[in-house]
Amino acid sequence: MKYSFKIFSAFGIPVELHVSFLLLMILIYAVAILNLAPGIDLNAALLITLLFVTVVLHELAHSYVAQRYGIGIEKIILLPIGGVSAMEELPEDPGEELRISIAGPMVNFVIALICYGIYFAFAGSGYYPYIFEFLNNFALVNLILGAFNLIPAYPMDGGRVLRAILARRMSYLQATQTAASVGKFLAMFMAVVGIFWNFFLILIALFIYIGADAEYKEIMVSNILEGVKVEDMMTREVKTVKMETTVEEMLKIMLENKHMGYPVVDGQNLSGIITFHDISHAKQGEENKSITEFMSRDLVTVSPSELLIDAMAKLKQTGVGRLPVVENGQLVGIISRTDIMRAMEILKLKKNG
């Protein structure tokens, strides 16, 4: 995610802090130190800080259990609304998803239990009353956080638990659709309540609604493209250019063909990609230079046997519009976002028909 930076790693998982989160914490401490708002003092600021520490533990619990089931975790991102674990894939086994989903809230409940245990065991001793009051508040906050996350509003933990339960009785896609619909309804309810009670609740509702819609679409795409390979949908006739092509010749080719990017080949072997953006770096007087001086050699490619859904993920990660299809070092085709969108429309019609 943009505007986030790594602060540490745990279980081999990078934990990143979003800039908005850092700004929020600076604001909270500034308000506490300068005494600008009633009810926000250093104790409250410390409580909020420790709350986000528990958010990290909450997300690490999800990630640890997911890793136990062989699901890779790209990173954990800390946002003002909580944490997000970026899984490389979603668990399709209902039992696995259920255990992954409840792992986070269970951490909150365990922290609350420990704090309450210490509070009730030593609070009456008369020593350090502020510490025990703090433990009581911290336990209560963790109880609320754990319970809130179990609200069946997909894609929150409770929504994922709901989908896992539904997936035992219906298809994974139907379970996701139902859980997402419940999540959207609860999000709209939260937004209405937020108008009259707390604006922050509106932000959470917006996050839930957008997240539910996005994850349902992702599952729908995975379902439509299941088993489809790159070679089934790739464009086999690819316009290529040779390494000895000059900048001036390249501009003419782009103007004639109305395409802004071309694979550069050495015989049958792919050597690089040249785009209009690359050519724009050429200075006046460099028209006769070879495009090899400006082309990109750092290539992201796919093989014909790769799944189309994996090619789609690569397109999304790299932010490019098309990927060369390479087999044994040779260019055999190209796959673009347009090819994938067209494939989805055709396959959707087939499944509905």
Active-site positions read: 59
Distance CA 204, CA 196 (A): 15
Structure tokens at 189: 């309810």
Among residues 266, 330, 264, the alpha carbon closest in space to that of 298 is found at 264
- 3-class DSSP state for residue 306? coil
Distance CA 184, CA 178 (A): 10
Distance CA 173, CA 170 (A): 8
Distance CA 137, CA 134 (A): 5
Distance CA 344, CA 337 (A): 11
Classify each residue of 136-145 as buried b or exposed e, where b means 16 or more C-beta atoms within 10 Å of its C-beta: bbbbebbbeb
- How far the first Cα of the chain sits from its last, in Å, is 39
| 16: number of Cβ within 10 Å | 20
In Å, what is the CA distance from 80 to each residue of 35, 186, 293? 22, 21, 45
